Structure 1
């Protein structure tokens, strides 16, 4: 079986695929079937690094952003999409995959369209509570649309409901494999001292970074701080108890297992990671001026379950952030309620379900002998 993965641009469109890829390998190994895969993605160097680090061959194609507003970039973007489509036709014809799996993002649209024209069965996955434009387009072209939870079905026309499958959002991390002690040792943090983890996504979050730096003295009075700042906004700040990195890759599971509270945006993939570890969260989603509202939709579901406290980006201040972190760290009962809320949302592992859907999409029928681990 040969699979083409497509999607990219941010970690949220890349990292979940690694868990799916691992499960596919296991399923097909039990079948005694060979497994090959490659990636059609963007030309972003960081994306290529992530994919190659997972031992998946990466092929970069042109594309263009799908915009819901007028921009002078419209014509160049459309040209990029057209070029990306013909590149996709070429590479799919050359590689001859049995199935194509899209993780979304604007780069996925040309490959999905090319697969449709070439007769290659395909499916797509949406992680967010509010469906993105790329998924809305791809949904008309694929056999199966994987969605994060049942409520998202209402955003699709009734005539498409037969192809919707609620699978959850894959996390590349596993609480069972994580070890909090390794994180304490790596960062030199005394065991038992509260640990505040700040994650702004793979690209970082300048607003969150600036609030953390503004209130760093007070945060360090509460506990140790491990901070992913993003490459573009990284500052080489040296303080006892404060550890800053452009990006945290190795040992992220250990770090989340050790965390007392996490401060983050509310990308769907990040939330899936936090729910895997049943972590109390302070979420500062991107506002409507910087997104289509998907992060707010993602966050509200977590907040409704009692697992997170939300600060609207437009109203967020460093003072407010520190106050909330203090409440969570010092109030044991509050923290326990948040952990309980996170457990209530922790779904069955999504990666095996999606891997099964990929095999099913290729064969056109369920393989009864394929079972989950």
Structure 2
């Protein structure tokens, strides 16, 4: 193998389009010594997330793909065309063995450019309901990788023949969490149950409100660790309560210490919880502010006994669910077992091996 050989990754817009791909990169580097580069948006979160990795990053113009009429679609058509031109230039110069797409609207121009240049494409979807970018990319990809078995039904018969379920890649580092260290980070006694509340890097005003409304009752029953996000962060000095805008290196230790997790139902978060066997109370983003992907993700996890979904978004109902679960050790153990049964061990390694097989 020539060291000059390269593989291109593309995707972005959210961490969910980046972190699973980085788990694959980690496995790929242990199997192969070639060059890995990333094509993403000039203005996307992926540029910032990739800085610490040392992976060469090439930014391109990116236009949002909308399912509804908007005047912005006109402007974004030119951005997509610009992204396609930039991708053609980058890929023609690099001549990679393969392009791996993790989705997001920025991934569409590189995928089309790769197809035009005769470069093989593999695309991956984390959600149960494939996004628009994945549906477009699937027409140009040799393999469409899915995490949920239910995702296969969203593709036509011809494309479905190229669909393979290999699970959602999870970073190795996530499994290195230590419960005792996690408890010490937040000052929690070892005999206290831990409720971990995650609202994402930007936080969730809805989740924050529900937790703060019930904080007095919750802290009598457990120790609450609350990631509130940078926008809606408030200092908390209440006993049995620790809050921060965002958790980074601490998160793996806090997950190891958590008895129950309250969070949204983004695919990446759910697959990480499944891999660790963590019971969850899910508050999915409603269809009014999303394409409904979290609703289906949450429904599947609840149907399989790995989570409870909060449909009635009142603070009273959330409190009831949390207190009932924390008081029912048998139920928590059952949910832990069901969560692990949904996970797909070795997903990142399997995908890395597939990339090398198709790349060569």
TM category (shorter chain) comes to over 0.9
**Distance 1:203-1:109 versus aligned 2 partners, 3 A rule:** farther
Aligned pair count reads 356
Q: How far apart are 1:37 and its partner, in Å? A: 0.9
**Paired residues for 1:123-202 under 5 Å:** 123-173=122-172, 176-202=175-201
**Paired residues for 1:85-96 under 5 Å:** 85-96=84-95
Contact 1:174-1:276 within 8 A present in 2 as well: no
Contact 1:88-1:114 within 8 A present in 2 as well: yes
Q: Which moved more, 1:339-348 or 1:284-293?
A: 339-348
**Paired residues for 1:17-32 under 5 Å:** 17-28=21-32
Contact 2:213-2:315 within 8 A present in 1 as well: yes
* TM-score, reference length from structure 1: 0.91
Contact 1:175-1:257 within 8 A present in 2 as well: no
Q: Please list the CA deviations of residues 155-183 of structure 1 after superposition, one character each: whole Å capped at 9, or x if unmatched.
A: 11111122111110111255642211111
Partner of 2:269: 270
**Distance 1:45-1:220 versus aligned 2 partners, 3 A rule:** farther
Q: Please list the CA deviations of residues 85-104 of structure 1 after superposition, one character each: whole Å capped at 9, or x if unmatched.
A: 11211222233322111100
Q: How far apart are 1:264 and its partner, in Å? A: 0.6
Partner of 2:8: 4
Where in structure 2 are there 5+ consecutive unaligned residues? none
Q: How far apart are 1:275 and its partner, in Å? A: 0.7
**Paired residues for 1:290-301 under 5 Å:** 290-301=289-300
Q: Please list the CA deviations of residues 302-338 of structure 1 after superposition, one character each: whole Å capped at 9, or x if unmatched.
A: 11111110012xx301121111111111111221221
Question: 2:233 aligned with 1:234, yes or no?
Answer: yes
Q: Which moved more, 1:196-205 or 1:161-170?
A: 196-205
Partner of 1:371: none
Structure 1 distance, partners of 2:228, 2:345, is 31
Q: Please list the CA deviations of residues 188-231 of structure 1 after superposition, one character each: whole Å capped at 9, or x if unmatched.
A: 21112111111123332221122112222222222222222233
Q: How far apart are 1:17 and its partner, in Å? A: 1.1
Q: How far apart are 1:105 and its partner, in Å? A: 0.7
Partner of 1:368: none
Contact 1:6-1:103 within 8 A present in 2 as well: yes
Partner SS state of residue 86, structure 1: helix
Structure 2 distance, partners of 1:26, 1:347, is 20
Q: How far apart are 1:72 and its partner, in Å? A: 2.7
Structure 2 distance, partners of 1:241, 1:44, is 39
Partner of 1:75: 74
Structure 1 distance, partners of 2:183, 2:202, is 25
Q: 1:15 aligns with which of 19, 33, 42?
A: 19
Q: 1:336 aligns with which of 333, 336, 359?
A: 333
Structure 2 distance, partners of 1:149, 1:112, is 22
Contact 1:121-1:143 within 8 A present in 2 as well: yes
Contact 2:127-2:148 within 8 A present in 1 as well: no
Contact 1:144-1:361 within 8 A present in 2 as well: no
Q: How far apart are 1:49 and its partner, in Å? A: 2.3
Q: How far apart are 1:23 and its partner, in Å? A: 0.7
Contact 2:124-2:146 within 8 A present in 1 as well: yes
Partner SS state of residue 232, structure 1: coil
**Paired residues for 1:237-248 under 5 Å:** 237-248=236-247
Contact 1:237-1:244 within 8 A present in 2 as well: yes
Q: How far apart are 1:78 and its partner, in Å? A: 1.6
Structure 2 distance, partners of 1:194, 1:205, is 23
Partner of 2:356: 359
Question: 2:205 aligned with 1:206, yes or no?
Answer: yes
Where in structure 1 are there 5+ consecutive unaligned residues? 29-33, 364-373
* TM-score, reference length from structure 2: 0.94
Partner SS state of residue 193, structure 1: coil
Q: Which moved more, 1:15-24 or 1:75-84?
A: 75-84
